[in-house]
Structure 1
């Protein structure tokens, strides 16, 4: 590999313009592909196989029409007064215009919704009045029927008495033998009585018919009472789901999109945002949520530009010349352009989050600058030692370039290993990041030699060019560090990192909400306005799906919904519950549940868990209303509950990531040990390198928790609302930091091994490697910290903790672990640091990362030393 890179370096230097133009053409093609094929970037994250994903799929299958993305629009009067009629009309016009945009399914007018709710309330009140009037009329009719029945009963009693008298007279006449004489009279009296009984029977039939009609009316009244009571219970349960605040100064509109957040096009969101930005309603401020505002506009904001400028200053200070300082920046920017634009060209066919290209930019800038710097630094040292220009370029590419290729490979492996987590969006992020790192490596070993060939000796400053070949550039005398210094360094670094890592024990994971966005962003203003005017829970409602034991239809649907709403309202931290859908077969009901706190709060998380743990819920079939109407029945049997929504998704994704974290850590540590054994042909060095990586990793986690979860130094880092740590930050930081840690380990410890192999005593070799690599690793780490640190102040809420974690992790790993802890341990271990069993030495390949064989071939001189 070293010899191949040596030849590639010389070729690039001699055919500089061919290489440069070639990369510019690649950059143009990548940009064109992005413009032609780029798709939408999502702000939400879903993981197949989670409970939330299952419930959402079930909703789409059973109900449909409620799975699309929903954006919130917040309208506020500037003076805090209630909206005027004219302002309400203008808001309705704006929302109506949005409804006509291609890709928008519908909109929710807050004032129309409030009017509808008031109409429903009025109808319920009217219904209750009508029912009361009907009940009074029925009672009056019942009294009349009862009176008629009493009169009829009296008449029948009188007729029965007459019949008894007639029967007695007939019997008496028969006994006296005079019946025949009075038979005609008795027959006439009996006929008169029979006619009376017939009339009484007719009147009884009328009374029975009236009673039956009255009973039917009462049954209908009771059924209507049950329905009305169910409607009232539903209205009471959803009372806190408002679209206009109590003071009338804030209103919430909604934009319902046809597509999900992952498929929602940037053009559709931009069209909606354009209408809202241009609303121009006098006296009204318009803000909207991340579903509408999300974009990559914050990709290179002020903070990121400042980070690049700091990196440029570090380069100028180190290289002491402007042109060579600009070279790593130009190379990195070209690499970022190729990598990010090329990756985004696939966003139309691959679900890609809005953070994905940002990770590519961060890594592309950081490693692009560093890798180019390593080669330039080696080339400058060789020029100062008197090596011919093109020979020096080839040697630098074959030695430092070889190390760059190997270091880049470790980063590639760490990032691509994110695909083994089984989490799609993480795998895409890792793949895009790996692509950007690969481009950075290719540019470092091709474009850098080409540009060095054009710069010629101007890669050195004037003063440095005057000292080419001077004895001052000969190898210095090397003395080992003191053992007491090594022990102190070991104890101080380990204890210090463990103390900083302590907060990581209380880490909570979640996804950021609008509250974590910049305070001047429309997302933050919309989030806080909703929380202030309607309660924090309105920013993250929960979707509850109930599978009934048997289908319901007609009036029974409202009864079932009311019973479920009552049960939901009885749960802790539930503010409101409202039905939002019913399946065609009447077997699945969907509810929107508003929790007491926001989607990332511990109480909301507990609510989601309690709802899931309660499933299935047993109902006994009784009606919850006081009427207890005959024939009315509630849910009878067990109801299976499913939970979805932002809070539920956060919990599921965070849990899946937390479960994947140990597996990924084991993979990374295993790779670390294997790679280091092959590179350094040692067992101790890999263990030290891996242990140091774990220390710096957990120290970075501890710092993230202290700043973003606890709010320490929040004012400095723009953390105004502390909350859970970004759930995928730990695993991303773990992968990236592993690769970068191995970079620094390689560039420092490979120098130690090179010195040891060339004859230096083990402890002297530690100082030799540290001296040779300290300056360039310091500069490289400062550049990394500057580039990553620039993203700490990004306008993208999900980017800030990533930038901070990577910056602080590099700071700990480079300056504490690699430059203090590792040299101290290697000094204490001495020659044992390079021990390797003979059987293992025979079977592992000799990768010669330092390019020592190439140096011997081209007669590069060695290093002087003092014995230990």
Structure 2
């Protein structure tokens, strides 16, 4: 692999205009596709439903038996009224105020009907008389009409008389796009500052960031171009920009760091580019491939919108890897020795350091510094270091025991909004009337005679507030019943009720029950994602072991690396529960908190953190392996590899952290929760697992860490990650002549 990648790097360095032209052509094609496809109209939005669930299948059955009912919920708003003075809504003065508001509501554009909460036939007043609810019904509305109608409703709310509280809920409330924040931009700026401090060169830092940002742009344009041709979900591009930017910076950082080290050995620029692409490029390819496999592996979840997010992010990673292998060598060849700090830009004949092993930074054995001292300490005190690291991770992960998930948060994601307030008021006063369960009761010999028995059986279940009989199918075999739960859709009692209905599906002789509706569908989708998480975690662990065994030709190192990854995931989950479920950082994170975590969060964190953890594993252990293969003792190899790769790992993890932290300040709950989970996961994996647990365990294992059965060693391919094949290649006469010249 090293030889092949070295040739790619040398080609890119020698044919810079060709490489730049190829990338410009790719960008032009993608932008052209996006523009042309967008001009032909939107292909629509992909569904986020999970069709294999019991409730989804029951919904399809319901649409077949009751085609006139449809499966969509009509657009509506609920106006929830309470008196600020505590007076009952049936008080004459309060009733008059409500009547005035409803008169104003009748003037809302495109409104079809305004219900009267005081209607004697269908009153909508709480038992204690404190709350009244009016429903505003609408027909089919365009997006612009929905926005206009909702804005008009807000005006009605604002014009309500003093002393009357009016909250607006319902499904017409537009979710809207989250307002643009500055956190993402601040994250990029801080990342740039970290790069400047790392390289000591503005040009090197700029080249690093340029490749990453350009890669994100190309990746996003590619995903959007695909979305202009084929329906994709609204959440498809959530992962792509944050992951593309983070790994794009890290991969370029890793390669540029090695390039600078190669220049310091006295090699000419082109040879340094080629060797860097062959060695560091091999690690980047392996790391990128690992992330891509992890993201594409989301296919095992068998959930379309999750798969779309993973594939879109995988495409962004692929672009970042390709740019690091082709476009970055162009910049390295162009900048030459200017990637070094100014004081190092001297004639090569005066700057060359003679190394007996021919490797860059071979003099590092005499280096001092914090990371070298830290590595020495960990190797000298492995048990103490190991216990301290594990204890910290376990404490951070502890809240995972209280983790609750929900596919969607009813009433909107913002707990301070009028929509959520209205929803909660209705839940408190009327139970689960907003989240009914739809039950299909089927009897082959006709259901009419059994309807009362079914209704009584359902009414007797725990958690049922009332059962409302509905229509009977044309053939008389299927009846539709509406079950009003006592609690909301994400309450455990409601989840238990859905399961109990299915358990008792055949409790009435001759009748079979199925349950569907938005509440049951949400519960099933949440469970489906939990089940998919287990499958995916198993796949991830297997992939981790196989890939690391192939790369490091060891059995124990992959095992401890995978166990460390699982600890990082646990810490990420635990911190996310503490923040987004327990509301611990409300003052720092603007996204809504205090609700169950989104169901998609755990599975996405598992996939993304796996890829990032393998990046750090490759960055760290590949250097340790390189030192070990030169004949160093196990502990000395750990210290040397640690001191050489540690600065890159720390810089990479710091950059990842600040980039993700920028996204964590988003007001969009999904993006913020994913980003925050990644912040904690990256910090846990890089600074505790890789910089403490891994060297500590390797120190305890000694030479056994590199043990591999001989039969397996013969079967595994030799990837040559260290670039040994490059050392065996003779230097050309042209290269020798160039080595005598002053570097660019």
Cα distance change on mapping 1:646 and 1:278 into 2, 3 Å:
same
State the shift of 1:27 in Å. Answer: 5.0
Is 2:406 the counterpart of 1:487?
Answer: no
State the shift of 1:674 in Å. Answer: 1.2
Cα distance change on mapping 1:476 and 1:296 into 2, 3 Å:
same
* Distance of 2:181 and 2:71 partners within structure 1: 33
State the shift of 1:490 in Å. Answer: 1.2
State the shift of 1:426 in Å. Answer: 2.5
Is 2:323 the counterpart of 1:443?
Answer: yes
Cα distance change on mapping 1:490 and 1:575 into 2, 3 Å:
same
1:267-416 to 2 correspondence within 5 Å?
Answer: 268-269=142-143, 271-277=145-151, 280-281=155-156, 283=159, 293-294=174-175, 297=178, 301-347=181-227, 352-416=232-296
* Distance of 2:483 and 2:125 partners within structure 1: 9
Per mean C-alpha deviation after superposition, the further-off stretch among 726-735 and 808-817 is: 726-735
1:126-137 to 2 correspondence within 5 Å?
Answer: none
Is 2:136 the counterpart of 1:253?
Answer: yes
Note if contact 1:71-1:288 (Cα within 8 Å) is conserved in structure 2: no
Output one character per residue of 1:781-829: Cα deviation in whole Å (capped at 9) or x when no partner.
Answer: 1222222233333232233322222221111111111111111111121
Select 1:502's aligned residue among 398, 408, 432: 398
Select 1:46's aligned residue among 43, 49, 54: 49
| Partner SS state of residue 642, structure 1 | strand
Cα distance change on mapping 1:348 and 1:32 into 2, 3 Å:
closer
Aligned position for 2:11: 11
Select 2:363's aligned residue among 456, 465, 475: 475
1:828-847 to 2 correspondence within 5 Å?
Answer: 828-847=700-719
State the shift of 1:248 in Å. Answer: 7.2
* Distance of 1:799 and 1:353 partners within structure 2: 15
* Distance of 1:675 and 1:828 partners within structure 2: 23
* Distance of 1:495 and 1:338 partners within structure 2: 42
State the shift of 1:716 in Å. Answer: 4.1
* Distance of 1:684 and 1:47 partners within structure 2: 39
Question: Which is richer in helix?
Answer: 1
* Distance of 1:7 and 1:500 partners within structure 2: 46
Note if contact 1:545-1:643 (Cα within 8 Å) is conserved in structure 2: yes
| Partner SS state of residue 669, structure 2 | coil
Is 2:688 the counterpart of 1:811?
Answer: no
Aligned position for 1:594: 484
Aligned position for 1:422: 302
Report how many aligned residue pairs link the two structures: 692
* Distance of 1:406 and 1:301 partners within structure 2: 34
Note if contact 2:2-2:726 (Cα within 8 Å) is conserved in structure 1: yes
State the shift of 1:832 in Å. Answer: 1.7
State the shift of 1:742 in Å. Answer: 0.9
Is 2:2 the counterpart of 1:112?
Answer: no
Output one character per residue of 1:528-548: Cα deviation in whole Å (capped at 9) or x when no partner.
Answer: 222224546345332222224
Output one character per residue of 1:488-507: Cα deviation in whole Å (capped at 9) or x when no partner.
Answer: 11121123223333332343
1:663-682 to 2 correspondence within 5 Å?
Answer: 663-682=535-554
Is 2:628 the counterpart of 1:756?
Answer: yes
State the shift of 1:295 in Å. Answer: 5.4
* Distance of 1:34 and 1:462 partners within structure 2: 49
State the shift of 1:79 in Å. Answer: 9.1
Aligned position for 2:665: 793
> Which 5+ residue runs of structure 2 have no aligned equivalent?
85-93, 161-165, 355-360, 367-371, 736-744
* Distance of 2:44 and 2:169 partners within structure 1: 19
Aligned position for 1:575: 465
What's the TM-score, normalizing by structure 2?
0.83
Note if contact 1:516-1:720 (Cα within 8 Å) is conserved in structure 2: no
Is 2:575 the counterpart of 1:703?
Answer: yes
1:144-183 to 2 correspondence within 5 Å?
Answer: none
Is 2:731 the counterpart of 1:851?
Answer: no
Cα distance change on mapping 1:733 and 1:350 into 2, 3 Å:
farther
| Partner SS state of residue 238, structure 2 | helix
State the shift of 1:404 in Å. Answer: 0.9
State the shift of 1:309 in Å. Answer: 3.0
Note if contact 1:245-1:533 (Cα within 8 Å) is conserved in structure 2: no
Aligned position for 1:172: none
Cα distance change on mapping 1:245 and 1:850 into 2, 3 Å:
farther
Select 2:418's aligned residue among 525, 530, 538: 525
State the shift of 1:749 in Å. Answer: 0.3
Aligned position for 1:168: none
State the shift of 1:845 in Å. Answer: 0.8
